[in-house]
Chains A and B, each alone.
Chain A
C-alpha cells in the first residue's frame, strides 16, 4: 500500500464539484444576488439594477417613489421569496434523503395539509377564538399550529414505527385526512370565502410586511443552519437505516430531528405564504442533477441557493407575466418547473 494512489479529484464525474467546488457555489451565489435584485427592479414601475443596489446599500429611505417601492414593497417580498424558497427546498431534500424516495417532500408528509386545514378552520369555519378581526399574525399562528400538530403526530408515529416507508405512508394518510376535513369546510362555506381560501392555498409572497419577513428569517435561518449540520448523518441514511446504525448514527434521534427540522421549515413558510407546490420536490432534483452528486455536504448548500433562485424567479414571473393581475406562486412553479425537471430526468445517467 506504499505506492498509494494520489487523491486525484479531477477523476470525479463532476470536476467542478470536487476540483474547485468554491467556483460553482460562487456562481450560484452570484445568480441568487442577481435574481434577487431583478425581482426588486422589475414590476409595474421599473427600477434599474444599479438604482436598486444603491437604494439598498446606501439605505436611502426617503419619500421618493423608488425608495418606497423598494423598501416597503419589493424588498421584503424578495427576501421572503429567497428565504422561503430555500427553506422548503431544503426540507424537501432532507425528507427525500431520509426516506430514500425521490418523490417525497413536506407536502407528501402531510405537514402543509395541517396548515391548510387550520386555515380552512379560520377562514371558512370562522373559528376566531373570540378575536374579531383576522389579523395576519393570527392567520400565521393558525397555519403554524396546524403544521405543528401534524408534525407532532408524525413524530409520535416515528417513535413507534420501525420502517421509514411505513412512516411515509402514515404521513400520506394524515395528509388525506386533513384534506378531507378541509373539503368538509369548503362545502359549507360562502363562495366568496372559498375563493379567498383557494387563493391562499395556492401560495403567494404578495403583501409581505417587514414584521413577517423578520419572523420568517429569525425562525427560518437557524433551521437552515441546522439542516446544514445534519448533512453528515443524512449521507449515512442514504444507505439505509441499518447501515446508518452500524456506522454509529443515533437513528432514533436523527429520525426525529430530521422530520422536526424539515416540518418546521415548511410550517414557517406555509404559515406566511401558503403551500408552495413543487419547490420542495423539484429543487433537490435540480441541484442533484446539476451537481451530479448525491453527497449532502454539497447538495445542502446548493439546494438552499437553488431554492432561493428558483422561487425568486417564479415570484417574479407570478407578478409580472399577467400584470396587473397576479398569479399564485404554485401556478408558476408548476408551469415552469415541471418541464425543467422532466427534461433533466430524461437526460440523467443514473437513478436518483
Chain B
C-alpha cells in the first residue's frame, strides 16, 4: 500500500533548490534508508517530507492528500519526527519528554489521562527505556536520549516516523539497538520508517529500500540488493577504501608494490591482509576460491588476487599465475589454511617456494609442517602472530627490484 508519494519534488531552503526531481513511492510498513555524503541534502529531504520545510517545487502526498493541505494537528497523528538537534530538557524526566508526544491527543490544558499515562510507559517499553522513565533526560547518555526521543515520537501514535541520523553519536551497541527497534516498529506495528544514516553497511542490511542522494538528485532507489557495490563507493567518492555490499564491509585500499605473496583460504588470511595494509606493505594473494571470505576481502582491498571458480579443484592456469607472482616477491606467507583436494595446489606452491630458496613465513606449528612439507619444514620462518610476519617483510627485495633482476637475467 502506498503511504507516501512525492511528485516532481524539489526541496531546498528559501527557494534555493538543493535536491531536485524527487519521485518516490513509499510503501506502508517499509524501512527506508536515505544515504549520501554530508551536504547532499538528506536532512533537507527529510525536513520537507515531515512538513517542517515547504517544498520549493512539486508536492508530497500522504495517503493521497497533499501534505501542505493537511491540518497540522491531523498530520501530527500520522507523522512524527526524531531530529538531530540536541535538546536541553531542563528538569524534564524521560517520562515527561515522552509525554510531550501525547500533545495531539490531549486536551486544552494537556492533562494526561490514565490511558495516556499507560501509553507513554508502553512507548518507553517498546524502545527498552522503561527503566529510564524517572531519570532526568539531560542526565542520560546519547544512546539513551535517542531511545527516549524515539519513544516520544511513538507517543504521537504515528503511521510514519522520520528520523534524521538516528545513530549519530551512538556507540555500536546503541546503534544496533536503535536499528533493531526501528525494524521491529516496521515489522510488528506496520509503521513506515524513513531515516538517514551514515553507516552504509548497517543501513543496507536493515532497510527495505535504499535511496541514494548525491549532487542534487536521487542517484538510485531500490532494494539494497539492487543498489550495487560500485554505486555505494561512487556515492561517497571513496577512493582510499573499498566497499563490499555483499559482505557489507569497508576495507582500506592497498596500492603498494606487492612484496609479499600470501597463500590463503578459509578466512585465514583476512587478518594478515588488514595488518599489512595498515602498515603500508603491498602484497598479492592466491589461490583463492571465489566464494572464499579471503577472496572477497582481498578484492575489496584491491590487491592482485589469483582466483579459482567455487567448488572446483584449483587448476593449472591459476597455479602458473601464482607461481609467476611468487617469483617476483621476496616473501611467501603460509597462513595455515586447511588443505583438501580442491586446494592441494596451494600446498605445492609453498613447497615449491621453499625448494626455490624463497623465504617462507608459516602460521602452522612445526609438527604440522613436517607432515606437509617434510624436511623443508626446518627452512621455514615460524610466526605465531600476524605482527611477527611484518618483521620479515623487510622490503629489501621488492617486486620492482626482482623485476629488474629478472630482466637482467633474461637479457643475459
Chain A contact residues, CB within 8 Å of chain B: 1, 4-5, 7, 11-13, 100, 229, 231-232, 235-236, 238-240, 242-243, 245-250, 288, 291-295, 297, 349-352
> Are A349 and B110 closer than 8 Å at their CB atoms?
no
Contact of B121 among A7, A294, A295, A349 (CB under 8 A): A7
Q: How near does chain B come to A124, taking the closest CB pair, in angstroms?
A: 41
When distances are taken between beta carbons in the complex, the residues of chain A under 8 Å from B128 are none
A293 to B90, CA, bound (A): 8
When distances are taken between beta carbons in the complex, the residues of chain B under 8 Å from A248 are 71-77, 103-104
> Are A350 and B139 closer than 8 Å at their CB atoms?
yes
Q: How near does chain B come to A49, taking the closest CB pair, in angstroms?
A: 35
Nearest A residue to B96 via CB reads A295
A85 to B108, CA, bound (A): 26
> Are B52 and A232 closer than 8 Å at their CB atoms?
no
When distances are taken between beta carbons in the complex, the residues of chain B under 8 Å from A245 are 51-52, 72
A168 to B95, CA, bound (A): 30
Q: Given the interface contacts A245-B52, A249-B72, does A351 sit within 8 Å of B138 by beta carbon?
A: yes
Enumerate 18 A-B pairs (CB-CB under 8 Å) in ascending A order: A4-B125, A5-B130, A12-B134, A100-B88, A232-B109, A238-B89, A239-B87, A240-B83, A242-B81, A245-B72, A246-B80, A246-B81, A247-B104, A248-B75, A250-B72, A288-B91, A349-B139, A352-B91
Contact of B109 among A12, A238, A288, A297 (CB under 8 A): A297
> Are B95 and A235 closer than 8 Å at their CB atoms?
no
Chain B contact residues, CB within 8 Å of chain A: 47, 50-52, 71-77, 79-81, 83, 85, 87-93, 95-97, 100-101, 103-104, 106, 108-111, 114, 117-118, 121-122, 125, 130, 133-136, 138-139, 152, 156
When distances are taken between beta carbons in the complex, the residues of chain B under 8 Å from A351 are 88, 90, 138
Chain A CB within 10 Å, residue with most, of B52, B110, B130, B135? B110
A294 to B97, CA, bound (A): 10
A100 to B86, CA, bound (A): 12
> Are B100 and A239 closer than 8 Å at their CB atoms?
yes
When distances are taken between beta carbons in the complex, the residues of chain A under 8 Å from B138 are 350-351
Q: How near does chain B come to A273, taking the closest CB pair, in angstroms?
A: 29
Contact of B93 among A1, A13, A231 (CB under 8 A): A13
Q: Given the interface contacts A5-B125, A12-B95, A243-B83, does A349 sit within 8 Å of B76 by beta carbon?
A: no
Q: How near does chain B come to A9, taking the closest CB pair, in angstroms?
A: 9
Apart from the given pairs A248-B104, A294-B96, A351-B90, 12 other A-B contacts in the complex at a CB distance below 8 Å = A12-B95, A13-B135, A229-B108, A229-B109, A231-B110, A232-B103, A232-B108, A239-B100, A239-B152, A294-B89, A351-B88, A351-B138
When distances are taken between beta carbons in the complex, the residues of chain A under 8 Å from B122 are 1, 4
When distances are taken between beta carbons in the complex, the residues of chain A under 8 Å from B88 are 100, 351-352
Nearest A residue to B73 via CB reads A248
When distances are taken between beta carbons in the complex, the residues of chain B under 8 Å from A247 are 76, 100-101, 103-104, 156
When distances are taken between beta carbons in the complex, the residues of chain B under 8 Å from A349 are 136, 139
> Are B92 and A238 closer than 8 Å at their CB atoms?
yes
Nearest A residue to B101 via CB reads A247
Nearest A residue to B74 via CB reads A248
Q: Given the interface contacts A247-B101, A294-B92, does A4 sit within 8 Å of B72 by beta carbon?
A: no
A213 to B114, CA, bound (A): 42
Q: How near does chain B come to A270, taking the closest CB pair, in angstroms?
A: 27
Q: How near does chain A come to B126, taking the closest CB pair, in angstroms?
A: 8
Chain B CB within 10 Å, residue with most, of A100, A288, A350? A350
A7 to B121, CA, bound (A): 8
Q: Given the interface contacts A13-B134, A232-B109, does A242 sit within 8 Å of B52 by beta carbon?
A: yes
A350 to B94, CA, bound (A): 13
Q: Given the interface contacts A11-B134, A232-B108, does A5 sit within 8 Å of B81 by beta carbon?
A: no
Q: How near does chain B come to A50, taking the closest CB pair, in angstroms?
A: 38
- For the complex of A and B, the 4 pairs showing the least CB-CB separation, nearest first, are A232-B110, A248-B76, A294-B90, A247-B103
When distances are taken between beta carbons in the complex, the residues of chain A under 8 Å from B50 are 246
Q: How near does chain B come to A188, taking the closest CB pair, in angstroms?
A: 45
A229 to B106, CA, bound (A): 13
A352 to B101, CA, bound (A): 21
Nearest A residue to B104 via CB reads A248
When distances are taken between beta carbons in the complex, the residues of chain A under 8 Å from B73 are 248
> Are A350 and B91 closer than 8 Å at their CB atoms?
yes
A292 to B90, CA, bound (A): 9
